Structure 1
């Protein structure tokens, strides 16, 4: 159930200002919803009336979240009934959810509501939405039951602005030649109801001015009489196909606080496009009083092709299709709408039953999606539990469909087509339960728009899955893009990886790739090998005949970067420079590499069976040389070892200092730390020098591509989160609890290097230690460990500030600034932390300097709630 704009505003306020002691203003909330500041202010005042906020009449007015509201209310209950007039609008819970919420808010606004401007291409449904706004106003009883809805297309009068003015406002006798009597206008006809002005950009500047003057004053003058005012109560809806900012006067545009843009047909989510096609076929079936059969090819053409006239033109296309089929169908036979040949699964538009039910995701409660079902699924990978939960939710709670009807329709059929292709390509058989899961996950990701945080969370949860499961997920996503929709669905990867985890099994010692020119050559060879061995041992890349060796190498490097490090890799190619492929790919691998030319089906089958038997690479290489007349190149890869390389582009001195720091925190003394000149390291990496074998980690001051060896720049070391550093770079290398103090020492090292040349007389080493004592006091007071890059920023700023104050008393341009509550609290405790420095250097820090420190720390601290 969609939330109103007021409810969404309150949820944003809770998120950003629940703990704020200084409150917030209406302007602070300007970006939370798409209305102007005056409307935001109105909603905030209504929330005060609801007992959720309180306000102080300062200038500007400041609002505060009431503690009880913040503690008990996370989402306000929706005030709109689920079955209001908007509930049947396709996309009301998808791409049009924000649009509908704003339209509802415009109607509900006290007085005569708010004017609404609908923007979008021709045929996207602006007129239909305008009629729904009017019907919603009737439902809410904000206008009388017999209130009028007057529609006027301004384009009809584009070449005669005076006639449009007369049509809008009416005219008096003698106002112009032929005006032999007084005549009422559209403003009179719309009194008490709605006036919908379509193509409003065709209004002349003069008529726009007349319109916004009426919106300000509530009365108008007839053409030919500027003395008699005519007061009316009108609610406005405007529509345009043009850019709002360029076709309307600023003064007119400012009078329209609610502006929404409707998406064009092809940019709507796939389930909404399918719902439109189903709806229009159902309408035609009702009109013709007979069921209409059409195949998935027809559906695919209609939902994947851009339509110039959008939804309006789509309706006309389907009407013509059905009319043609009706005309060509003998009496008593089934009406069949054909796309090309009547092949594939048949879909039916019923003349009696309701239109096909929307896709599954329409009925999934958002909170359950995010917090329970799919998150739990990523933890467990239990496909049967996921299916059962959703089936129960959809059949019992909503009563929307039977279990049998649930798995039907276009998306289901096209998903099954992709599943069949996946089986043929991978050699792995998909159970019916897994096929259902595939469809449910696809529906979820198609319909539900999610933030990066959700994707990151599901990716983290699914980190346990095998590399083979992730490869299967990638393969499946490619096939779904080809069969169902090409739109990117990043959320699908972690979900499908978890779904395939149990089926894929553990990772093989060796991974296989087949690259061949031709539309299906590689896929055919890999498919046969995988099917006959019953496992996903070869990934296929079908390359156009014009593809160069360079393009093949780039494609392989991109694929190898997604593989789990450590496993061996066998690449079978049909032609191309074997040496080039071998020389470059080996730089991106941690394990062994074997590249073989002149791939054949028998060769692929033989090698797949050896991978299945988990034979070592040496036996596969020996067998290949004896069995096939091929060219093969073998690279032994990285051998186990214990070595860390540290290199600094600025010279050996910094490298040695970094070595001293890292050495103290190593978990075992047998790990060697080697310092190396930057250019020497770069050459060795480029040429895959054997001396790099055994390298566990490279630390540099400048980012560098190191191929198969983990490389960490000092900037990453300082900025990256601790858990990422532990997992991806220092796993098994450092003592327990050693990472944070080690990074702090690195921060101090580079701070000293950075400020040494900028200090005139203070000793960098001494002042850094003194500043560190101040920073630790702040951390203790606010009970937070500052991130390393914030720590470095504070080191730099405070050290230079002390010398600046000693020399010229510091900057003072904000001494008279009126302080916020947080600033006051920060200044109040500041002297306590700087007591030692003030006494040693005889300082008296100006207010401006203190505020500058506050601004650096502000995003990280909560000044109003210290311990």
Structure 2
């Protein structure tokens, strides 16, 4: 019984989610499934948990899932029993990686990121790493980073756990080079007066570890040259013994506060390939400075043992003050502040120490720039329960929420297997929660001066976009976007590794593909924000804004053509447009004032730029003051919308054209009506119809598998071919009217799917033909006009790779592909033995794909209840159906499922039905 339970939960765990856990993992449901008493099932489940084979979540109700299956599909778990679902989710690392001691360094993803990257390069370089030299002002953290480098090498098994870190301060030997030489390299007996025995130096003490030479600029030229032998050959000679070399394996690190070129020999610097400069405290970001301040107070609280309550003014003054000794002086100052506040508290016998501006050194006291904003901030409490990670996060909680949103967006995308159709909904919910919080929980910040400044600019930007695209944004978007940007200016987040960077760009590509209209509005908004507000936005911001705008919605304000006036001279066009717009009581015209010497090509460029930045899908009317319309038109690129061009514009002409637009007069009638009263040259330019080439993918069960097939084709066909892959609902392709619309909109070169549509659209290739390779030549023939020989070979290789059987099954089901194929082979072998015939390869491939989806349906308890031909099949082919059911028993045992008659009939049709519909409604 225990093994049956284990097998059942192993299959079910493939669908386990900590965000939306199903009742199938409760003892009650499992007892009903096996028709066994609940207390008996609970006994077995608890036994399996104690054995480490199941995981128990002690909530109400209690849940159980298969530990190994979960770990294979998700991430390792450290326990067998958890108090909550959140505790299980908390075990998940964002990306698996070795412990990185540098991640705890303040600024590791900001101002110190490049320095740390160089240090890591030095650590991992083959054959003992590379020597490196740290430069920077006193107190910037050079010695601290060397200690972290040593820890990092040990953590990554580049050094043994007991590897030494030996530090020599060269300043101590600045006037005694002989003593320095002895301390560095050691000496033999008699090497100098007082050398009574052989003695090793710092190099030998650091063997197998790290030798750190601080204040290395205090070495004179001769002292620098003495290091050359080790840097070049990895050996040293003790002082007084030039005949016996000592090979050593130690990593060499240097630090200095001085200018390299003025202090060091060129030949010395040439031997140190990595030279990194640490920024001064003032050069570090405000966020990092605050974190350094909080870290220092955190360390002092641990020393005195009493809670510290920090005034916001203290944090602000320390953040904006100048410390010539950098981080070192900052820490010393905070030690003095803490000591002063601690001494004052002794007189009052308080339980917590208040750190206020009255405890600051006099030279630091100054007025803050934003007293109103500081007054709204709460004091920061540090006590024995405070964690430093929690402390630095709470110092700017809203900024931290934004960063967490970024991380959660990528995590949802990863969990969905980078399938945007599956990830879109959870990602949108994450963004919705963030903006709801910004809108409703922080209204008091709307009165702050900087927030008002941002809001006024965003208001104008949104109005400009609304006017350009003739739309109206819904909801309170101005305020939520404004508050997001107000916080975003202090958020520093860039993908810290190549995986996250690639994920972000792939996600943005999918967002742009699915929501191209919303993305166009976002692209305009981001350009305006970066110009007006000096906020550098990233691909992640574009993803968030596009999805938010799409979810909030927008409405088209009108279906009227756009219109512009182009005239020579100062304010000529703008004067005409201003008068016309006022008399029309609507902003109908936009104006372009052009210099007198402007060329037709330059005018065309301005018109083209307007078309690209505005929604002119309903047409464009362009009014010129003079010049040949044909001369201008020849420089305008191929159009996708109609344009009316009219000459000899005046205020009365503009008003007449504006009235026609407001009255929704047709494009062709506008110039005809206006010319009845005015002498105008005019021309209508209609777009040349060039339909986009597409390949359609489809599946009878809906869009899900059609999208998966589309993804595989997109990976196989390069973007440069400019052939779009469009997934379509199968029912859409069965409707004659919708087929007509599709044919009108696109140049369809072919259809790939699980079923051939009854409406003839274009040549068809079945999915099993692509898997077998029989359809490859046909698909290449669709693309032949776009392909040269080299590209044909490339596409062919990509098709072979992406449409292998295991790759297709992996795309359409979440089950273990290798296991599914293995079980399918047993099933097909048993079926051929019972039927006493070989199954054709194309049917066998169709069977593999169909049955892999069937297994998942059965595990999910989502089997089809009725098959359209089941009654006839049961009467006429009972023997074959029974043989199929018997053969399928090998899969039933492994996955603990049972196959209903409807699904058996379906398999029969896959084997013996019509070729073009071998995979039908219930698939996928």
Question: What's the TM-score bracket when you normalise by the shorter of the two chains?
Answer: 0.3 to 0.5
TM-score by length of 1: 0.46
